[in-house]
Amino acid sequence: MTRHKVELLLLLSLSFSVAIAQDESISNNSEKGYIIKKENIWVEETLNTYPKMIGSSSNFYKNISEDLNYPVAARNNLLEGYVYILFEVDSLGIPQNLKIEKDICEGCGNALLSQVKNFIGQWIPAQIDGRSYASRFVLPVKFELEQVKQHEYQNEDVLIPLAKRMTELLVKGYGRNSQENQITVQFTDGFNMFEYHDLKSAIVAKDLAKYLYLNSSNLTILPDKITSLNNLKLLDLRNNKLEVLPEKIHRLSLLQELLLDSNKLKYLPENFHNLKSLTVLSLPNNQFEIIPVQVCQIKNLRALDLSNNKIQSIPMDIKLLKTLEVLALANNMITSLPEELYELKQLKRLYLEGNSLTESDIVRLKEKLSNTEVITK
C-alpha cells in the first residue's frame, strides 16, 4: 500500500468528538438536521458529529469551477436552470453514488459531474453517540444567462430526494455565440467564515479562526503567536520545512486535528501531550527515530500516522492510547512488537507494511487483535 493511500485511510477513519454546529461548506436548509441512513431509510437527524470535508471546502469549490463552461446546447437554446448533483458519504467518509439528479438539458451536467468526482475528496462521516452513519447531499449549480432579460429557469422547483443542500454554485453565461463565463459561489450561512489560509489573517481574526491551512507554505519556523488562536480546531502544516514546533503549542486547547506530514521533525515539545482535545495526529514523512513519549500520553487520540519515518521499535507506553482506532506505522524499521500493543482493543486498522517483522509476529498479532484489520503488505 502506498504512503498516500495510508494517509487517506487514516483520515477516513477519524471523527471529531466535539459536535460542529454547522459545517462551513453546507447551507443550513434545515435548522439542525442532516440526512443520514438509518436501517436503510434516509431520515433527518440532529447529530453529535456533523459530516465535514477533509481539507478546505473553499478549495473544493475553486477546483470544480476551473474549466467549467456554460453547456453549449443550453447556451444555444437560451436555457437556464439548475443542475443538481446528488451524492452520498458512507460511514467511512467515502463519497459514492454521485449522479446528476436533475439537468437543464440532456448531457449538460456531464462536465460538472466529472469535476465533482475529481475533487470531492474524503469526509469525516456523520456520527451519533459514537456510531458512524452514511449521509446524503445535493450540490445545486445554477446556470444563468447574463443577457436574458427575464430569467425562466427550467427546473428551479424540481422535487429532489431528501438530502442536505450544499452551498450553491452560480455559472453565468452571456447568451448565444459567446464563450465567456463568470463563475461564482453563492456564499451563504457563514460559508468560509472560520477558514483561513494565511497566518496573518488568522491572527487578526483570532477567536473566529477555527480551521487554518498553511500547507505547502515553505515554512521553516512556526511563529509563537500561532498559539494565541484559542479556538483553532484544525491546523494543516503539511509539506513545509519545519524542524521544531513552538514550545507553547499545547495552548491550542481546542485543537482536534494536527497535520504535519512531510516536514523535518525529529522531536516534539515537552508539553505536547497537553493538547487535550487532539484526536488526529498525522506525522508521516518526517525524521522520527522513536515514537515520542508525549504522543502516547494524548488520551483522546483516535488516529495516529507515523509512516515513513525511521522508527525501530514501538514503546510499551503505546498501551496508554486506549481510544486509538487507527495506527499507521508503515515503512519504518520496526523488527518486533511489544505485548502492550495487544491492549489497544479499540484499534480498527493497523498499518505495518514495509517493516522487518517475522511471519510469526504477524500471526500472533492477528490472533491477539482479532477485531483489527492488520495491513502488512
* Same domain for 205 and 78: no
Q: 320 is in which domain, residue-wise?
A: 195-375
How many whole angstroms separate alpha carbon 209 and alpha carbon 341? 37
The average pLDDT across 134-138 equals 93
Question: Within this chain, do residues 132 and 275 fall inside the same structural domain, yes or no?
Answer: no
pLDDT for 70: 78
Q: How many domains does the chain have?
A: 2
Can you tell me the distance from the alpha carbon of 363 to that of 326, in angstroms, rounded to the nearest whole number? 19
For the entire predicted model, the pTM comes to 0.60
pLDDT of residue 281: 94
Same domain, 182 and 120: yes
Residues 164 and 241 in one domain: no
Q: Are strands 257-259 and 280-282 parallel, antiparallel or unpaired?
A: parallel
The candidate with the shortest Cα–Cα distance to 70, out of 136, 142, 166, is 142
pLDDT of residue 364 exceeding 80: yes
Cα separations in angstroms, 287 against 147, 260, 292, 298, 312: 58, 12, 12, 21, 12
End position of a domain, from candidates 186, 221, 245: 186
Where residue 331 sits, what CATH number does that domain have? 3.80.10.10
158 and 79 share one domain: yes
Same-domain check for residues 233 and 90? no
Tell me what the mean pLDDT of segment 15-31 comes to. Answer: 32
Q: What is the CA radius of gyration of the chain?
A: 23
> Among the listed ranges 172-181, 253-262, 289-298, which one has the minimum average pLDDT value?
172-181
Same domain, 63 and 162: yes
Which helix (H) or strand (E) element contains residue 142? Answer: strand 135-145
Given a cut of 70, is residue 275 above it in pLDDT? Answer: yes
Categorize the per-residue pLDDT at 123 as very low, low, confident or very high, splitting at 50, 70 and 90: confident
Regarding whether 349 and 207 lie in a shared domain, the answer is yes
Res 176: pLDDT = 57
pLDDT in tens, 303-320: 999 999 999 999 999 999
Of 134, 156, 186, which residue constitutes the final position of a domain? Answer: 186
User: How much of the chain exceeds pLDDT 70, in percent?
Assistant: 82
